Structure 1
Amino acid sequence: MKNIIRLVLLMGIVGLNAPAKAQYAVEPVEGFTPQIGIVVDMLEEIKDRIEADVRDLSLAETDFRFDDRANSIGALIMHLAATEAYYQIETLEGNAWSAEDMAFWGAASDLGEASRETFTGKPIAHYLDIWDTVREKTLGGLKSRDDAWLASEIEEGVNNHWVWFHVLEHASAHMGQIALVKQRFPD
């Protein structure tokens, strides 16, 4: 009997701490077709995790580079926004980057010397706000598409689903890079 009471108490404690949405479940987001809703859930989850890791950084931490060839966290966030903007324009608008797009996103896209010079002196909120703006446009575009569109090819052997998987994969890789940069912050 004591074991049953302990089990009931433990289940009650666990139940009180359970989140409203399953913490480790990928589920379609309401308002999107089922497959696109799953992609959106994953895109939002990785973005939320990255934002949680960086949102409280100081300006010095946002700009920190651990060597001359490294990128700052600010530059990495801009790179994530640029990558999403590129695929958004390609898949949701059916266009290539314009000269204006390239002028705005070019340094962030390349993560080279230009990004190291360009993305400095701004708080992390600046970069996160830009990424939020890009994401809003992405979500609006995905909301107007269906699962057949997601499975359709944009060129031979490349479909929209792979492209948006790549955006997710890209964010995941740079999340690891952001963690590395944070580990190298001066004490």
Structure 2
Amino acid sequence: MLNIENLLLITDIPGYTPQISRLLSMMNYARFTTIDAVKSLSQEQLDFLLDSQSNSIGALLLHFAAVEYAYQVSTFEKRELNEKELSIWSPALNLGKEGQEKIKGNDLAYYLNQLDGVRNRTLELFKSVNDDWLYIEEKFWWNKANHYFMWFHVFEDEINHRGQIRTIRKRLKV
């Protein structure tokens, strides 16, 4: 799906409606730059904590996958995460102490595989809807939002935390 030739084009993608194609184009670019920001990091670097309040790069990568998975469940399946899913994704969704304690000891391939697995599911799910689906409004946070905003938030969250990743990478002491 990640076509380097068209990475800088927000355009149609075969198999998807026009607005979904544009959304996916933006998500693809965000993911490409995330992967670029973590290339060649060791397990020790992925686990590094700046201080007792910070998240590791590995935890932030898993957070991206967890958020995307949670939005799949919420927007496509119309439900909350169940107990089994929470046992898997909660540390990455909550981050903080829980993430520090439970998300460590994994190499970069582990995190990239998690990101790819969730993204591949997202791509399949988006094939099942059309542009009208993006404009469906639901209660969200303190207000209402449409699916378009919700999925914008998925990659906006990734972009925001990628800034943290770049800051941590510059300060690695390992």
TM-score of the superposed pair, with normalisation by structure 1: 0.85
Q: How does 1:165-176 map to 2 (within 5 A)?
A: 165-176=152-163
Contact 1:63 1:73 in 2 (8 A): yes
Q: Which amino acid aligns with 1:111?
A: L
- Consecutive unaligned residues in structure 1, runs of 5 or more: 1-19
Partner of 1:86: 70
Partner of 1:134: 118
Partner of 1:160: 147
Contact 2:42 2:108 in 1 (8 A): yes
Mapped to 2, the partners of 1:57 and 1:170 lie a distance apart of 21
Mapped to 2, the partners of 1:56 and 1:21 lie a distance apart of 23
**Structure 1 ranges of 4+ moved more than 2 A:** 20-25, 154-157
Q: CA deviation at 1:154?
A: 2.6
Identity %: 34
Partner of 2:133: 149
Judging changes above 3 Å, is the alpha-carbon distance between structure 1 residues 22 and 108 closer, same or farther for their aligned structure 2 residues?
Answer: closer
Contact 2:20 2:130 in 1 (8 A): yes
Q: How does 1:65-104 map to 2 (within 5 A)?
A: 65-104=49-88
Judging changes above 3 Å, is the alpha-carbon distance between structure 1 residues 167 and 23 closer, same or farther for their aligned structure 2 residues?
Answer: closer
Larger radius of gyration: 1
Mapped to 2, the partners of 1:184 and 1:58 lie a distance apart of 14
Matched, 1:34 2:35: no
Partner SS, residue 145 of structure 1: coil
Mapped to 2, the partners of 1:73 and 1:127 lie a distance apart of 10
Q: Which amino acid aligns with 2:173?
A: P
Aligned partner of 1:107 among 91, 100, 109: 91
- Consecutive unaligned residues in structure 2, runs of 5 or more: none
Partner SS, residue 157 of structure 1: strand
CA offset digits 1:8-33 (Å, max 9, x no partner): xxxxxxxxxxxx83563311222100
Partner of 1:46: 30
Matched, 1:186 2:170: no
Mapped to 2, the partners of 1:172 and 1:25 lie a distance apart of 18
Q: Which amino acid aligns with 1:186?
A: K
When the two chains are superposed, the root-mean-square deviation of aligned CA atoms in Å is: 1.7
